[in-house]
Chains A and B, each alone.
Chain A
Amino acid sequence: MAAQDVHAHTAHAHAAPQGFVRKYVFSLDHKVIGLQYFFLALTAVFVGMILSLLMRIHLVWPGAAIPLIGEIKPETYLSLLTMHGTIMVFFVLTTAPQGGFGNYFLPIQIGAPDMAFPVLNMLSFWTTFVAFVVLICAFFVTGGAPLHGWTGYAPLSALTNTGPGEQLGADLWITSIAIFCVASLMGALNFITTTLDLRAKGMTMMRMPLTVWSWFITAILGLLAFGVLLSAGILLLLDRNLGTSFYIPLVVVNGQVMGHKGGSPLLWQHLFWFFGHPEVYIAILPGMGVASQLLSTFSRKPIFGYRAMVYAIMAIGFLGFMVWGHHMFMSGMSPYSAFAFSLMTMAIGVPSAIKTFNWLGTIHRGRVRFQTPMLFAIGFVSLFVSGGLSGPFLAQPTLDIPLHDTAFVVGHFHLIMGVAAIFGMFAATYYWFPKMFGRMMNERWGRIHFFITLVGAYSIFMPMHYLGMAGQPRRYSQFTELAYLHRLIPLNTFMTYAAIVTIAAQFIFVINLFWSMKKGPKASDNPWEATTLEWTTSTPPPHDNFGGMTPVVHHGPYEYSVPGAARDFIMQNDPATVTTSH
């Protein structure tokens, strides 16, 4: 076994690359790949954000002529909606926290010089990039982008004559998703292997930072979920291009009997949501990890209930695979299975509540430092609770059926999966920016960005719950002429103004990001006085992360304010012998 160990641990070592292409384009360095993912996601989030702005404008001023695009037609609205959802879910929520920050910091936080499979890592990024390009191409082909929503429900998505975007655009959409699945699988098995195999001496599983735990569990979810979506996508492509009927029953479109029979749209829903629900946790778990890390660091206290946090992440991941049916209460499923899915869904509330109370316990009576990363971490907890509380409502089939196709659900998942996860990314960006770029971000503009974004996010998404309960449907391009929704128009207008302000505020972030890269004050190696391994190496880290050394770990990840210690934090690789509970 010992001989195999030597063998195993030399496989990933590689020399520092020379030349621009090998150093910055086809780099094997996990740090460069992490930044590539980060900037890909940054590009994607701006595309997705502009699409949402167009939708909000159209909802309250349906006749408005928009520069370059003109008036938004109903089918264009559906295309915007589809592309917004797809870009945000796949290329932002999945790409940035895991591919971006996970790639950059998972190896450093466990004391590894790189990922276990650097070539696979590079292939995984470039495959993701190709997937993004293919998706964007859908805007420019005949018929435009698809209009079947990010969930791609059949038979709308499985036939080629159901709408203008359902021609080549839909094929490109499915192809993009399939390529993305392959990329995510490569990434996921790399993350898992790295975590299992390349931990520095002393970095036992129960000494891993919670960020590493969340990336690890997220990778397991991705490994199990994306393979199923890949199959579902292949079958959808067969339906569209070879005339099979996996998802298509005998169906009449525009008075014309289609040559399909015997298929079931429910098959798509099952396969899609078997992926789709774990995907929600793929988006949110890394945010939970970052929040745990930051709340502990900036409260100068150990995380409250480290083991409980780890088991809660595992429980959420495990239960996440058994609740896909709660997206399908509307499909006419048997009330008995609906009951089972409902029960499992409610059960997820337990580990979620454990995490929430542990976060509160961590802040409680801490010496809290309200710097920008901490503000975003607190914002994450706030949004997670606000968005999460409507979850148990929707988990009840009896409540879900009237609420499902309304703005209530849109408000729910945007708060918890969209904005909360993005707050996790903001927190991570402000927190790790000094390590990634060697400079500090501007603190004042960071705070301004935080407060506008927090108030803005609540102003946009909280009213959606009221709109939904009042019966405003989702996915409708226009309802200003519906009498029963007339009195809600002012509220809709308010939300659109809030969206404009919030989106404008994101430019503060981008300017701060790029300005600080060039002009920010130089960062020390450990500006936040944190304990994990990335803060023990130089800023930015050298090619092999620790300059030819491999750190030896002596402590748990969150040893703050330990009685008897010289400072109020003990680095994980500090050999000082202070007796600890870990």
Chain B
Amino acid sequence: MSEIVVQHPVGASVYEPSLFGTYSKKIGMWLFLLSDSLTFGALLFAYTYGRVSTPNWPTPFHSESIRNATIMTAFLLSSSLTMVFAVRAAVQGNAKAQRLWLLATMAFGLGFVILHGREWTNLIAEGLTLPMFPTPPGQGTGEFANVARDVPQFAATFFGLTGMHMVHVTLGVIYLGIIAFRKKFIPILLGLWLLAWLATPAYSPFHYGAHLILIAAIISAVILWLKPKVYDASDIEVAGLYWHFVDLVWMFIFPLVYLMSTKIIG
């Protein structure tokens, strides 16, 4: 035992070696992702259950939706790449490059959310709604109105799965913003909240959904107050794990929800 003590620097020697020789935050994030994958797993199970038990599951997504979703996919994939660069810059201690790559990642993430929001808005306008969504004026005439009426599970699983994922991406952007800018990001968040709240009409789900940003801002402020620290390379790496996971989840949702429900013409 005494040899081991000699081999380790002071401070490390009082503990048993940690799992895979890595640090606690990283293990914590892996565990969270494990649990979160079961959360998404349950949603995907619900989707599969609904789809398998419903005869004549509709396949209504026309090429515009698919094109949009493909661009969103490209955004997320690119954001994973910029995230990798951010982690590399952090490890090399290049603060400026790290911040720029994080900003690029956030921009791709934000672009994803905006495109996705546009997609939702279009679909809702075409009649794909949940029974108790507030209805936009003049809605209910598009071809998706039939789908929403005939197979309620379609809209429910679509909004449930993609909505949960959108929440994850939004929180991911906020997470990266806090890591990159700390306290300075809180006023930006509040601005984003006001913008999202005021710029969306009252019948839009995003009108209420915007309050998620406010809640996230409050929780971030509390955490920054409790643990005022400068984030280092390990924090960037852990945030990167989360970001790649959210990207990975989309790689399940895109084929299962979109591609498998593409309208086949001919």
Binding site for B on A (CB under 8 A): 1-12, 26, 28, 116-117, 119-120, 122, 185, 188-190, 192-194, 196-204, 223-224, 226-228, 230-232, 234-235, 238, 241-246, 259-264, 267, 270-271, 274, 550, 552
Contact pick for A245, options B13, B39, B152, CB 8 Å: B152
Extra contacts, 9 of them, besides A6-B11, A234-B164 (Cβ < 8 A), are: A116-B24, A192-B27, A223-B34, A234-B160, A246-B50, A246-B160, A262-B152, A263-B153, A552-B14
Identify the closest chain A residue to B152 (Cβ): A245
Interchain residue pairs with CB less than 8 A apart (6): A120-B28, A201-B15, A246-B160, A262-B53, A262-B151, A270-B45
Question: For chain A, what secondary structure do more than half of its interface residues adopt (helix, strand, loop), or is it mixed?
Answer: helix
Contact status of A231 and B35, CB under 8 A, knowing A5-B8, A196-B27, A198-B15: no
Contact A228 B42 (CB under 8 A): yes
Contact status of A243 and B132, CB under 8 A, knowing A224-B34, A550-B15: yes
Contact pick for B35, options A116, A196, A224, A261, CB 8 Å: A224
Question: For chain B, what secondary structure do more than half of its interface residues adopt (helix, strand, loop), or is it mixed?
Answer: helix
Contact B132 A242 (CB under 8 A): yes
Contact A8 B35 (CB under 8 A): no
Question: Which residues of the partner chain B approach A1 to less than 8 Å between Cβ atoms?
Answer: 21
Contact A550 B14 (CB under 8 A): yes
Q: With A and B bound together, what is the CA distance between A241 and B156 in angstroms?
A: 12
| Smallest CB separation, A14 vs chain B (Å) | 9
Contact A267 B27 (CB under 8 A): no
Contact B28 A190 (CB under 8 A): yes
Contact status of A11 and B14, CB under 8 A, knowing A224-B35, A227-B36: no
Contact pick for B24, options A8, A231, A260, CB 8 Å: A8
Kindly state whether residue B74 has any CB partner on chain A within 8 Å: no
Kindly state whether residue B145 has any CB partner on chain A within 8 Å: no
Which residues of B113-155 are within 8 A (CB) of A?
130-133, 151-153, 155
Contact A227 B152 (CB under 8 A): no
Max chain A Cβ within 10 angstroms of own Cβ: one of B15, B17, B132: B15
Contact pick for A193, options B4, B27, B39, B40, CB 8 Å: B27
Binding site for A on B (CB under 8 A): 1, 4-5, 7-9, 11-19, 21-25, 27-28, 31-32, 34-43, 45-46, 49-50, 53-54, 130-133, 151-153, 155-157, 159-160, 164, 223, 226-227, 234
Contact pick for A267, options B14, B19, B49, CB 8 Å: B49
Contact pick for B46, options A223, A242, A267, CB 8 Å: A267
Q: With A and B bound together, what is the CA distance between A171 and B39 in angstroms?
A: 20
Contact A244 B130 (CB under 8 A): yes
Question: Which residues of the partner chain B approach A243 to less than 8 Å between Cβ atoms?
Answer: 130-132
| Smallest CB separation, A4 vs chain B (Å) | 6
Q: With A and B bound together, what is the CA distance between A67 and B28 in angstroms?
A: 50
Max chain B Cβ within 10 angstroms of own Cβ: one of A5, A9, A11, A245: A5
7 closest pairs, A vs B, by CB? A243-B131, A231-B42, A244-B156, A8-B23, A550-B14, A5-B12, A243-B132
Contact A119 B226 (CB under 8 A): yes
Contact A199 B38 (CB under 8 A): no
Question: Which residues of the partner chain A approach B151 to less than 8 Å between Cβ atoms?
Answer: 262
Question: Which residues of the partner chain B approach A188 to less than 8 Å between Cβ atoms?
Answer: 31, 35
Question: Which residues of the partner chain A approach B12 to less than 8 Å between Cβ atoms?
Answer: 2, 5-6, 9
| Smallest CB separation, A328 vs chain B (Å) | 14
Contact status of A189 and B35, CB under 8 A, knowing A201-B13, A232-B42, A246-B156: yes
Question: Which residues of the partner chain A approach B157 to less than 8 Å between Cβ atoms?
Answer: 246
Contact B46 A119 (CB under 8 A): no
Identify the closest chain A residue to B10 (Cβ): A6
Question: Which residues of the partner chain A approach B153 to less than 8 Å between Cβ atoms?
Answer: 245-246, 262-263
Question: Which residues of the partner chain B approach A199 to less than 8 Å between Cβ atoms?
Answer: 15-16
Contact status of A11 and B23, CB under 8 A, knowing A192-B31, A224-B35: yes
| Smallest CB separation, B149 vs chain A (Å) | 10
Contact B8 A2 (CB under 8 A): yes
Contact B22 A8 (CB under 8 A): yes
Question: Which residues of the partner chain B approach A196 to less than 8 Å between Cβ atoms?
Answer: 18-19, 27
| Smallest CB separation, A82 vs chain B (Å) | 23
Max chain B Cβ within 10 angstroms of own Cβ: one of A189, A223, A260: A189
